[in-house]
Every structure is written in C-alpha cells, then in structure tokens.
Structure 1
Amino acid sequence: MLIIAIILFGMLVGAGAQLILGRDGGSINWPMAFAAGLAGSFVGGLLISLLSGDGLDLKASGLLGSLAGAIIVTAIWRAVESKNKA
C-alpha cells in the first residue's frame, strides 16, 4: 500500500511541476510526471528535509522540497529533450 501511495504522490508532484513550468502541447506528459516526480521527490524532499533538520519525518519542508526537485528534474528533462530534437 505504501508503494502505491509513493507512486501516486510522485505522479501528482510531477504533474504539479509540469503545471508550474507550463505544459507542452496542452496536456500532462504522465511518463515524465512519474519519473520527474519520483526522482524529484527523492532528491529534493530528502535533501531539504535533512538540511532543515526534520529528518525523515513527513513535514512541509519535505513536501516543498519534493516539488522543487520535480521542477528541476522536469526543466532539465525538457532542456535535454529540446536539444535532442534540434
């Protein structure tokens, strides 16, 4: 059950990152949302939680760090994707 919750949270965070950065083609790219959400949540959430002293508890700093990490991963993904198309 925890794995399903982690997957859903990652997808929501990834979709939120795409909404903040603007959607390509008017729709959410769900594979990108999944990958960016999980990677961003892991890196950003863990890093911000540890730096703020919250440890591994579920706190607002970890949630905001997850979103920030997903935004960074999504931006990098789009930059690499556009470079490969050109």
Structure 2
Amino acid sequence: MKLNTKELNKLIDNNFDGNIAKFARNIGLNRSTTFKAIHNKSAGSKFAGHLIAFCDKNQLDFREYIFLPNNVKKINQKLIKVS
C-alpha cells in the first residue's frame, strides 16, 4: 500500500507539531517504524493497521492517508466495524 505522504505530513504538522515521534506514540508504534513508512512512502501491514485504528478512533477517513491498490474488491461502500 502506498501512503499519501502529503496528507499524512499535514496531519502530523497540524496535530502533532510536525513531530513524527509524537505521532508514532499516538498510533502505538515506535518512531523508527513510523519514520521508515513515511519516508519510504509505503505502508506495511503493521503501520497500516495502526494508522487505520487511529483514524477510526479519531473519526478520520484512512483513505485520505493510504492509497489502496486498484485490485481491492469493494463489497460495500460502508466500512464495517468488527467488535
């Protein structure tokens, strides 16, 4: 999955004073994992999962920050929450 680094950096700048370490703590990851994901512009499952959970918790649309591959089959337009 590719990251929308432009929007992700806006999120970090606006909500975490541009501090990647502070953002990493808030999404539950270490700074190095977060830094690598942002600077490589690629989200592994660990980073993506934590980012999606953070977005869900804060009522943000994770699709603003992660570009999904074109071959992902969309079953419903709604995001289904699993409890």
Normalising by structure 2, report the TM-score: 0.31
Normalising by structure 1, report the TM-score: 0.30
Q: Quick one: higher RCO (CA 8 Å, sep 6+), 1 or 2? A: 2
Q: Which protein is richer in helix relative to its size?
A: 1
